[in-house]
Chain A
């Protein structure tokens, strides 16, 4: 339920941002992370970015998940 997925911010317009996660581009609401900038990594919960994360950690996490998905495809 509190599952959140890391994603990279590609563009921002008002309260919305296009983010990329596992090659999928989605629009999410960014009003809970007012300091967000293009290129940041955020964690996304139910269509909202809820926190900005540091890039190294996002890559570690995404790398780990990507590996998981590939193994199980």
Chain B
């Protein structure tokens, strides 16, 4: 009976995943022909750019977007090309798959080699290269790795397969962390003994501060992520304006939303009144989603975290609290320390920091492409290299 239920569940899951893949494929495929001719936002951006405050800048006015969905939308609609030449959009570390530490990937792979476990992961992670293997390669040699749409898929599976040890690979920023928190609550409340969590969750504001402190990066403004901000709200970003005197706008994803946000940034700069503003106000409230924040705080503690390509950023990661160590895959499935090796010559680190554009990487489009990715930025559909490859080559 359990087997039949599993087959049905797996079939349903497959259907849902196919549907979601279809949706995101449609969303991200093809360069969108959007008619900007009558866009007041573009006219206003062009006018405001003539202001001395921006013209007198010796450098380009660099606006960094920190959300993979923004990166894709900007590339898809060709927004960079619509802007005056001195306004420069650069991609930051906004793709959770891209910034997941190679050491975490290596460790998870080692867990699958050493223990008999079933891994549940979001599909984007499958092809991300570790030092010697990837989830995809592990699956091809017979390791049980299942792609899920929701963290709760892992819960249903573990419940129906009590003899298997199941690990959910929890990746993502503040948007996804509360989902993992709900999953952990369910595991705890229903006394499930065979489901564990490997947390690589990361939080955005400390990464922004690390970038602002990096002398090699010249950021004049941030385009802030929409759905991370739906959870955390506006307050965690206030230091950007207060301490660094830099404007930032939480933006929606439609082309006019992005343009409007850029206009808001430029106005804020020209008026010498750097502030944190919300353009995506139908979804982002100043206070964010307090219930989700509470769930995160209940389950996770803030730790230092390794960002692929960037390095260790203090207080930028979320690990399970000690009281939940019975469910912590890092505690339960012990492995020896691993020294990870990045693919030599890969520029993902500098690309994630906005220092280099994908076009400056010698592998880009040649040795490194979506069918044969060398670095993580080419793997995830939201990575800067994947976006450039799809829309700008």
Interface residues of chain A, those whose CB is within 8 Å of chain B, are: 1-5, 22, 24, 26, 29, 31-34, 43, 45-48, 50-51, 53-54, 56-58, 61, 64-65, 68-69, 72
| Shortest beta-carbon distance from B333 to chain A in Å | 24
Decide if A24 touches B19 in the complex (CB within 8 Å): yes
Which residues of B have CB within 8 Å of A57?
282-283
- C-alpha spacing A61/B255, complex, angstroms: 12
Decide if B291 touches A29 in the complex (CB within 8 Å): no
Decide if B23 touches A46 in the complex (CB within 8 Å): no
Interface residues of chain B, those whose CB is within 8 Å of chain A, are: 16, 19, 23-24, 26-27, 29-30, 32, 67-69, 95-97, 122, 124, 149-153, 171-173, 175-176, 178-179, 182, 225-228, 230-231, 254, 282-283, 285, 289, 291-292, 295, 380, 382
Most chain A beta-carbon contacts within 10 A, residue among B96, B172, B227: B227
| Shortest beta-carbon distance from B17 to chain A in Å | 11
Interchain pairs with CB closer than 8 A, number:
106
- C-alpha spacing A62/B295, complex, angstroms: 29
Decide if B178 touches A50 in the complex (CB within 8 Å): yes
- C-alpha spacing A46/B181, complex, angstroms: 13
| Shortest beta-carbon distance from B322 to chain A in Å | 24
The residue that B289 contacts in the complex, of A51, A54, A68, with Cβ under 8 A, is: A51
Known A-B contacts A45-B227, A54-B282, A57-B282; A2 and B182 likewise in contact (beta carbons under 8 Å) = no
Decide if A1 touches B23 in the complex (CB within 8 Å): no
Most chain A beta-carbon contacts within 10 A, residue among B122, B151, B282, B291: B282
Which residues of A have CB within 8 Å of B176?
1-2, 45-46
Decide if B292 touches A32 in the complex (CB within 8 Å): yes
Additional 6 contacts, C-beta under 8 A, given A46-B122, A50-B231, A68-B27: A2-B68, A2-B173, A4-B175, A33-B291, A45-B179, A50-B289
Decide if A2 touches B227 in the complex (CB within 8 Å): yes
The residue that A72 contacts in the complex, of B26, B95, B225, B283, with Cβ under 8 A, is: B26
- C-alpha spacing A50/B382, complex, angstroms: 21
- C-alpha spacing A56/B16, complex, angstroms: 28
Decide if A32 touches B282 in the complex (CB within 8 Å): no
The residue that B124 contacts in the complex, of A1, A45, A48, with Cβ under 8 A, is: A1
- C-alpha spacing A71/B299, complex, angstroms: 44
| Shortest beta-carbon distance from A53 to chain B in Å | 5
Most chain B beta-carbon contacts within 10 A, residue among A3, A45, A56, A65: A3
Which residues of A have CB within 8 Å of B173?
1-2
The residue that A47 contacts in the complex, of B29, B151, B283, B285, with Cβ under 8 A, is: B151
Decide if A1 touches B68 in the complex (CB within 8 Å): yes
Which residues of A have CB within 8 Å of B225?
2
Residue of B nearest to A15 (CB): B182
Residue of A nearest to B68 (CB): A1
Decide if B19 touches A64 in the complex (CB within 8 Å): no
The residue that A43 contacts in the complex, of B68, B151, B283, B380, with Cβ under 8 A, is: B283
- C-alpha spacing A1/B386, complex, angstroms: 14
Residue of B nearest to A26 (CB): B16
A-B contact pairs, 8 of them (CB 8 A): A1-B171, A2-B173, A2-B228, A45-B179, A47-B153, A50-B230, A51-B285, A68-B26
Decide if B175 touches A50 in the complex (CB within 8 Å): yes
Decide if B179 touches A46 in the complex (CB within 8 Å): yes
| Shortest beta-carbon distance from A19 to chain B in Å | 13
Decide if A1 touches B289 in the complex (CB within 8 Å): no
| Shortest beta-carbon distance from B169 to chain A in Å | 13
The residue that B283 contacts in the complex, of A26, A51, A68, with Cβ under 8 A, is: A51
Residue of A nearest to B125 (CB): A1
| Shortest beta-carbon distance from B199 to chain A in Å | 15
Which residues of A have CB within 8 Å of B96?
1-2
| Shortest beta-carbon distance from B96 to chain A in Å | 5
Which residues of B have CB within 8 Å of A69?
26
| Shortest beta-carbon distance from A58 to chain B in Å | 8
Which residues of A have CB within 8 Å of B153?
47
Residue of A nearest to B252 (CB): A61
Which residues of B have CB within 8 Å of A58?
282
The residue that A64 contacts in the complex, of B29, B124, B254, B295, with Cβ under 8 A, is: B254
- C-alpha spacing A51/B268, complex, angstroms: 28
